[in-house]
């Protein structure tokens, strides 16, 4: 790639977008560790633990199977979608004519160099592959939870309940990471148009994520 084709304005916009995304998620991780009940992630983890306790102590096996089946089906669908899109982007990236003919009509600040476009497409491929990996891990944990939920347990056996809840929460974490990767497609796909669109997509995404992560009062 010819570095001379990249303007300082483009570098500044891209770096700012990366800093905003990384800074937001670093702050979120810190809040989840220090004060989880101030975030939707912590509240949902607690709710899933209570769900596991209720299922195991009241022998509601049918409800548990239906819930885990729905979660598994959703993860399977999203994993299939992610890998199909990744393969489609790979096919596009391997066609040099497609990259060279990509339109930059909507940007005035970005580089038009084909190798930079190819880099952006490869980045999108990596994001979709990461989403696929997370969704498949979620399926693994949900299937494991379905097995251990049927282990006989006395009402006083809180340790087993905690184990089941932890497995379900791990599956939910992987599902959440897969969704985060899917959300990241928005700004990075807009980067194909130009760096100013990357920043706009990043700001839009952060507003949406803030409402998801911190507006936990909406869950009630």
Residue boundaries of the structural domains of the chain = 8-219
- Summarised one tens digit per residue, pLDDT across range 12-33 is 888 999 999 999 999 999 999 9
- Read off the pLDDT of each residue in 117-129 and give the average, rounded to a whole number: 87
Neighbours of 193 (CB within 10 A): 19
pLDDT-derived band at 214 (thresholds 50, 70, 90) equals confident
- Distance of alpha carbon 53 from alpha carbon 45, whole angstroms: 13
Percent of the chain predicted with pLDDT > 70: 82
Tokens of 50: 């209570």
Q: What are phi and psi of 104, to 5 degrees?
A: -120, 30
Q: Is the pLDDT of residue 105 over 50?
A: no
Short-list 97, 100, 109, CA closest to 12? 109
Short-list 216, 172, 152, 164, CA closest to 70? 172
Q: DSSP state, 192?
A: T
């Amino acid at each position: 790639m010819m570095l001379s084709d990249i303007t300082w304005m483009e570098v500044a916009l891209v770096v700012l977008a990366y800093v905003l995304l990384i800074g937001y998620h670093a702050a979120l991780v810190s809040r989840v560790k220090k004060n989880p009940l101030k975030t939707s992630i912590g509240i949902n983890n607690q709710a899933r633990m209570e769900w596991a306790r209720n299922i195991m102590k009241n022998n509601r096996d049918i409800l548990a199977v239906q819930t885990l089946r729905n979660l598994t089906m959703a993860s399977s669908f999203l994993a299939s979608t992610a890998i199909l899109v990744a393969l489609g982007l790979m096919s596009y990236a391997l066609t040099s004519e497609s990259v060279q003919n990509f339109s930059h009509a909507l940007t005035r600040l970005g580089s038009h160099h084909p190798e930079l476009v190819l880099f952006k497409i490869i980045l999108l491929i990596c994001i979709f592959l990461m989403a696929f990996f997370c969704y498949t891990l979620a399926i693994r944990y949900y299937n494991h939870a379905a097995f251990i939920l049927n282990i006989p347990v006395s009402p006083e056996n809180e340790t087993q309940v905690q184990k089941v809840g932890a497995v379900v929460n791990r599956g939910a974490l992987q599902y959440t990471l897969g969704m985060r990767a899917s959300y990241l497609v928005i700004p990075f796909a807009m980067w194909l148009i130009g760096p100013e669109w990357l920043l706009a997509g990043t700001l839009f995404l952060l507003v949406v994520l803030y409402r998801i992560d911190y507006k936990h009062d909406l869950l009630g």
